[in-house]
Structure 1
Amino acid sequence: MKRRKLSKEFKIKAVELSNVQGNTKEIAMELSISSDLIYRWRRELELHPDLAFSDNGVKQLTEDQKELEQLRKQLKDVTMERDILKKAVSIFSKSDRKY
């Protein structure tokens, strides 16, 4: 089955209809789509209204999310380096005691 490409406007109208009329399953049947799609679109609009339904299908990260991802990577690297240094200090301090 070929996947349909639905416009951003269609998705927004479907969410608006389900919010106003309240019967999501009935609206989904009328529009020939799954009710799960409407629920997912509603969630996407609530979480990221300005980024919802991007044309390329990939969610764009906000600047804060990009920065957070970068900081998490840096923290992981620094933590790993610290653990390596702790082990090295431990090894060298043990070797000094033996002499």
Structure 2
Amino acid sequence: MNQEKEKRQKYDKEFKLEILRLVSEQKRPIAQVARDFGIGENTIYKWKKAFEEDPVNAFPGTGHLKPEDEQFRQLKRDLERVTEERDILKKALAIFSKTPR
């Protein structure tokens, strides 16, 4: 069975904000806006919810993380580095603690 994987459409921040402006300021129904732009209604509802919860960081875009996600990424890198340093020190300790024969 050979199925082609459908690519997800990506929308930039400005486009999402424009769609939400049509819905909120111009009072256009989400169903109508979704049909006009070929977007799923659920997608617009998700954008609306994300914007209402955190307008500043609602649509970070590719490569741009929310501050808490960036902090998590940095902490994970730090942990990996410290773990590697610890492993190196363990090996060095094992080598230098051997008694000469």
- TM-score, structure 2 length as denominator? 0.53
How many residue pairs align between the two structures?
Answer: 87
- 1:55-82 CA distance string (max 9 Å, x none): xx43643445434432321221011110
Gaps (5+ residues) in structure 1? 18-22
Which one of the candidate residues 25, 40, 53 is aligned to 1:34? 40
What is the CA RMSD across the aligned residues, in angstroms? 3.8
1:9 aligns with 2:9: no
- Quick check: 2:16–2:47 contact (8 Å CA) kept in 1? no
Structure 2 residues not aligned, in runs of 5+: 1-9
Deviations 1:12-53 (A, max 9, x none): 543x59xxxxx96x4433664222421431353255321234
TM-score (normalizing by structure 1): 0.53
Residue 89 of structure 2 corresponds to 85
| Counterpart AA for 2:19 | F
AA of the residue aligned to 1:34: G
Letter in 2 for 1:10: I
Instruction: Tell me, yes or no, if structure 1 residue 49 matches structure 2 residue 47.
Output: no
Distance 1:42 1:4, change over 3 A: closer
More helix by share: 1
